[in-house]
Structure 1
């Protein structure tokens, strides 16, 4: 017996020594190729790019991995207990490897011939997740064990757990427990219940198999098993255990929802970040703060959508998007294939009554739509004609028609259709070029083409202020008389004629420059450009930030035939609003890394009056920089006179509708191109300069009687009404070197006492007109009531 015992003892010792030698040999062989565990302390988990409004509201998130790292101190104790009960209840006691679990896993392998469990501790899973692949092999398992032992020597238990819970994949693109809490429950980890924590704790084992969205039955079984383990291990008492068991599965898919709708802004910020950081922009956890305040962006969204809807309804109803007939069982399946667009929900007509209709939405809910919201729906025949007015709902829709509806603030639903036309709005702070609102189309879901920054269209008469500004800086005045009369240009090489005309095909004869602008007289603009020279004008206008190649090298530029984006137009107009400075537009205010440190803080070119003394930075990470003074591009007196002239466009001219805003500090100009293919309004006060374009993506007429003042201007007014709400009147201050003089309306000279219809006009001091006493005898002014020997023309072109 003693021999047998001695033999068994020596055999066990030999086996142990053999295992020890094998393990030591494996360690010596593999250790040179093992990664440094110290690198875990500085590991950079992939975190998505987040874009925020100026007032810290989320606009968008970009990146494949949804991850929000959480510090160990912020992890609820209940979750830690749930996780350890599910994954590694001996975590606090082992040193990286639980040999009991490994033996159990090996026994299962010998019995079944298949790997049932890996016997991995949480530390081993950290080793695998950060350093190894998911390959199932003995060599990888040995590496995993060796790394786990090293990790336990280098890191404490809290650090290991923090790495684990932030790295693991938990389904539905959620990486880490904080992201999973938001994805499944729409709340941070600290706010979810014990049962919900147990549900998340059950996901690491098999994120798809135990996913509460995909397989709620198996997810519930695993959750309850984890709760039972917690109870048996003494981590929760019976009362909490039973309460958690009774809680139903209430997980649902929560997409990170933007707090402000600005998808075109988000896309511009994303593209800029990728340009700066490449693919790292999506994974390094950058937080980007834009210049856009949420309330202005919301105002722009509403103004543009309502403006397009209003235009669209003036031209009739184009019919249903589809006809599903009376096959009710298939309605919902078909509806779910159709996306909402710009807040317009797809719906199928489920009942047609005299007082309105009933519609079924994609979620199966049924709502009523009143007849009053359908009365606009005359049949669309063409852009310029509609069919008869409908007398009842049945004249508009039939059972099974797929239409669009929109919820209203009072809970009712409105009958609509997706507009065929498009629009863009850009609003800037003229003092520094900060983009305050930008909308690139009716709906980003419908088209992500950013018309505000990408669509080059002809601005029409909204471009004329640049021609007039060039004239004012070359000796013209607002009182200069220019002949509004027919003119013909002949191309003798191509045997062609160009006969430009005014939009109403009328001619007013000699007319003051100011009046010509607010009445938008095309022939005056052409004559002015002809006099100052096309080359001079193009060079002058490029100072406003335009590309010279986009400015036609001929007289047609006077009619706005340049190809420009709304963003470029708004940026150019800023010089009139800020006193003559160039302030390039910018969107990104600040870029922070994952730790909240500032990597970039905007330092835009700013007009001198708005530059403040350098103030202490909000944090030490923000570098101190000297402010950039904006470049002056035109005489401040020219900008002031242009503002005065453009105010008359609103007070007396094509922008008179804007008087409804009840403000005295607005200046602007309409623009309409040939056949009404493009509709524009650009305008400003000293706080905001805003440009609006409307038209079709493939240029075609907006219709008879549709102009800048009927399509673009109402959108501009709606936005500016909200942007300027409760703000005092604000225009640039009057600069020195200006004179206000009483002028004779027929000569443009200083008026003599008693001159009828004399008016006051602004002049640069060096451009003041001569008095009537300096007239040369024998000259006359067309249309003047004075004798021929008493008047003479002044600057008649």
Structure 2
């Protein structure tokens, strides 16, 4: 298409490919050529086209690459900027300086041939090195995910006028936290690759390996293909590959997979099958299929961080690479949450007073204690309390909790907490079998962190038009209370046990009041950690885009938690964090860890437990001596002797009071609180 048609497409029309749009493009191009001069059309073109790294327009590109306005560029610099228009992601000097110089020199040579510059000036420009301004990471390169959403929301509220420019969109992203999130994700994924050895040089396995893709690589959207290496281009730092019916190239310059900067011929042998995905912008074959691909050897990751006090999204990382137009896995990808869904089930049970943290899970045993003496058989495993079940992520306990409160109720409850994805009221719901986005899950946990108040998470804080007027944003979910503050406190208390003595113990190193939950989906295809402090909620997901297993020994605690820890360390650096205050509707009392009841007289190993006021136990656990009497001293059918203790009125008559949840009775006076952020209320496991 002509430059005039490009102006029409970029400024006046949408980029869709239809016959109707093409016809309108031709008609409008003729009208523009009648009303505007060639120089005016060229000015429009240069002020709107893309120059790479999130920069649109020649003035912005000039300031990004050379740190000065376009009117101050010399001939060599101007030629480099002009050469970017054909393929900014290919010819960017920040991506490939040698290729950028070849492109610049081609432009200079043509300028001399066509009389736009003297041969002497061109000869001097050809000798000039490329000297770039220091790279300053701005929003398009720091948070392309936020930029993509800003464009989407702007188009939603102003329509086609967004293409004319002049609008200012303000996001809630904190640049320092965004950088910390990207760094945490990258270092975690690099550590995964080191564990599994998926870095160059790559050899063809003697047997097995990935089968190459057959057919046309024409699947829409982001898709991973198995490509066979068929050649090497050391000069271009690329592998020649075959993806089904199409041949293409893939760069080997990624430091993620090529930390030693090996040449293409040393990076991978001929015949090796690699995981790749197409780069949609760039050269295409005659059928319109991409010819350039990116490596997808290892898994990807996503991170979402929300300030629970304001519900502002302060960090949004959609993958390892900060690529404009890349897949934002944090906002778009749906994956199985695994055990990170369990707190939704347990929180509903707490809300409904169906059980307490001290309730015994029927038919499920706790961890078997070690034998008293070497050579002796271990003692019988004790019953399992709800708190231990949450800390250790015991699946049968979560299924019992779901059955206790009802799956349909949990589905409705999840919607109240902010889950938008489709859920089914089945048994597998308890184990997180239904997919959702990391961003959804993050706002659920932000509701727990905010004391039970749900609110829509925001990424766009303000839009102003070309005239400076504020433009109304799309409506968000209204602020409302889902759990009362006491219920949220008990849920948070349960999740602190994951940190103090469960699957998330590694996070204890932070020394912060934190709560959270690990998650691993079936066959370890997804690894999660979702957690929060009073000031910050963060969710991290790790997995392959095509949902292949992460591999042996990979789970939420190994493939996601390290990134979560690194981010939370950065988010809380330099200041103290105040623990959650205990609401008046909560009491903390000692219980017997084996029964969940009150301690027996003289018990030496009680533990503190948190209850909603009115659900704490009033019955004492039997002492070991009492159990011995029950087992060995009573005659069959003998009447037990009166122990002389006064029982609460009606305690022996179930018809005398309202039904209560398991382990709950009338309130008892509270003692010194020991809830979230304080001394762990469970013994070490």
TM-score normalised per structure 2: 0.64
- 2:262 is aligned, of 359, 382, 400, to 359
Q: CA-to-partner distance for each residue in 1:309-341, whole Å, 9 max, x for gaps? A: 222332234726986889867867969943478
Q: 1:273 to 1:342 in 2, by over 3 A?
A: farther
SS of equivalent to 2:147: helix
For 2:80 and 2:382, how far apart are their aligned partners in 1? Answer: 82
8 Å CA contact 2:443, 2:457 repeated in 1:
yes
Q: How far apart, in 2, do the equivalents of 1:200 and 1:308 lie? A: 34
Deviations 1:470-516 (A, max 9, x none): 11122222112222439xxxxxxxxxxxxxxxxxxx99552221111
CA distance in 2, matches of 1:694, 1:567: 14
Residue 307 (1) aligns with residue 219 (2): no
Partners of 2:596 and 2:131 lie apart in 1 by 72
Are the equivalent residues in 2 in contact too, given 1:172–1:183 (CA < 8 A)? no
In the TM superposition, 1:439-458 aligns within 5 A as 439-443=317-321, 448-458=326-336
Q: Distance in 2 between matches of 1:738 and 1:173?
A: 58
Aligned equivalent of 2:362: 483
Separation (CA, whole Å) in 1 of partners of 2:79 and 2:395:
74
Which of the numbers 612, 635, 638 marks the counterpart of 1:764?
612
Residue number among 549, 555, 559 corresponding to 1:701 in the alignment: 549
Q: Bigger shift: 646-655 or 722-731?
A: 722-731
**Aligned equivalents of 2:384 and 2:81: distance in 1?**
77
CA contact 1:432–1:583 (8 Å) conserved in 2: no
Match status 1:795 vs 2:674: no
Once residues 746 and 176 of structure 1 are traced to their aligned partners in structure 2, the CA distance between those partners, rounded to angstroms, is 69
Name the CA distance, whole Å, in 2 between partners of 1:647 and 1:176: 51
**Contact 1:580-1:635 within 8 A present in 2 as well:** yes
| CA deviation after TM superposition for structure 1 residue 360, in Å | 4.6
CA distance 1:343–1:598, change in 2 (3 Å): farther
1:334-413 equivalences under 5 Å are 337-339=249-251, 344=256, 359-360=262-263
Question: Are 2:108 and 1:216 aligned?
Answer: yes
The residue aligned with 2:154 is 273
Take 1:402 and 1:254, find their aligned partners in 2: how far apart are those partners? 37
Q: Deviations over 1:86-112 (max 9, x none)?
A: xxxxxxxxxxxxxxxxxxxxxxxxxxx
Change (3 A) 1:189 1:325: closer
Q: 1:558 to 1:179 in 2, by over 3 A?
A: closer
Is the 8 Å Cα contact of residues 356 and 662 (structure 2) preserved in structure 1? no
- In structure 2, the residue matched to 1:414 is none
- Counterpart secondary structure, 2:618: coil
Q: Tell whether 2:432 aligns with 1:551.
A: no
C-alpha deviations, 1:181-205, integer Å up to 9, x for none?
548855224755699899999xxxx
Partner of 2:387: 514
Asked whether the equivalents of residues 240 and 250 of structure 2 are also in contact (C-alpha less than 8 Å), the reply is yes
Residue 660 of structure 1 deviates from its aligned partner by: 2.2
Do 1:569 and 1:691's aligned partners in 2 also have CA atoms closer than 8 Å? yes
Other structure's SS at 1:767 match: coil
Q: Report if aligned partners of 1:544, 1:572 keep a CA contact under 8 Å in 2.
A: yes
Match in the other structure for 2:492: 643
Cα 1:134–1:461 shift into 2, 3 Å = closer
8 Å contact from structure 1 (residues 181, 200) kept in 2: yes
Change (3 A) 1:400 1:523: closer
Secondary structure of 1:543's counterpart equals helix
Is the Cα contact below 8 Å between 1:431 and 1:583 reproduced in 2? no
Once the two structures are superposed, residues 421-462 of structure 1 have per-residue CA deviations (whole angstroms, 9 ceiling, x without a partner) of 222221111123211112223336599333222222221211
Residue in structure 2 matched with residue 469 of structure 1 by the alignment:
347
* Cα distance change of structure 1 residues 323 and 507 upon mapping to structure 2, 3 Å threshold: farther
Q: Name which of 285, 290, 303 aligns with 2:171.
A: 290
Secondary structure, counterpart of 1:756 in structure 2: coil
Q: How does 1:772-787 map to 2 (within 5 A)?
A: 772=620, 787=629
Deviation per CA, 1:624-679: give whole Å up to 9, x if none. xxxx7x21100111111111111111110000111122x13111111122222221
Q: What is the alpha-carbon distance in structure 1 between the residues aligned to residue 595 and residue 601 of structure 2? A: 15
Find out whether 1:685 has 2:533 as its counterpart: yes
State the Cα distance separating 1:689 from its structure 2 match.
0.9
Residues 284 and 558 of structure 1, relative CA distance in 2, 3 Å threshold: same
Contact 2:76–2:128, Cα closer than 8 Å, also in 1: no
Match of 1:378 in 2: none
> Quick check: 2:382–2:594 contact (8 Å CA) kept in 1?
no
Deviation at 1:582, TM superposition (A): 0.3
Relative to structure 1, is the Cα distance of residues 595 and 343 closer, same or farther in structure 2, using a 3 angstrom cutoff?
farther
Rg: which structure is higher? 1
Query: Residues 276, 785 of structure 1: CA spacing in aligned structure 2 closer, same or farther, 3 A cutoff?
Result: farther
User: Does 2:316 correspond to 1:438?
Assistant: yes
What is the aligned residue count? 528
Q: Which residue of 2 aligns with 1:584?
A: 456
- 1:187–1:346 CA distance, 2 compared to 1 (3 A): farther
Instruction: Give the TM-score, by structure 1 length.
Output: 0.56
Residue 785 to residue 449, structure 1, CA distance change in 2 (3 Å): farther
Q: Give the match's secondary structure for 2:331.
A: coil
Question: 2:33: which partner in 1?
Answer: 134
SS in 2 for 1:435: strand
Structure 1 distance, partners of 2:501, 2:61, is 60
Structure 1: gaps of 5 or more residues: 1-44, 50-61, 65-128, 145-160, 202-210, 226-241, 348-356, 363-393, 405-416, 487-505, 606-627
Question: Structure 2 CA distance, aligned partners of 1:603 and 1:445?
Answer: 29
Query: Any conservation in 2 of the 1:346–1:402 contact (CA below 8 Å)?
Result: no
Q: Distance in 2 between matches of 1:176 and 1:664?
A: 46
Aligned-partner Cα distance in 2 for 1:550–1:323: 40
Q: Give the conservation status (yes or no) of the 8 Å contact 1:296–1:723.
A: yes
Residues 1:659 and 2:508 are matched in the alignment: yes
Q: Secondary structure at the match of 2:614?
A: helix
**Do the aligned partners of residues 768 and 199 (structure 1) sit closer, same or farther apart at CA in structure 2, a change above 3 Å counting?**
closer
C-alpha separation between the residues in 2 aligned to 1:696 and 1:268? 23
2:186, 2:410 → 1: CA distance?
Answer: 36
Can you list the C-alpha shifts for 1:104-144, whole angstroms capped at 9, x where unaligned? xxxxxxxxxxxxxxxxxxxxxxxxx9996436xxxx8xx99
Question: Could you tell me which residue of structure 2 aligns to residue 746 of structure 1?
Answer: 594
Please show how residues 665-680 of structure 1 align to structure 2 within 5 Å.
665-680=513-528
Contact preservation (8 Å) 2:538, 2:564: yes
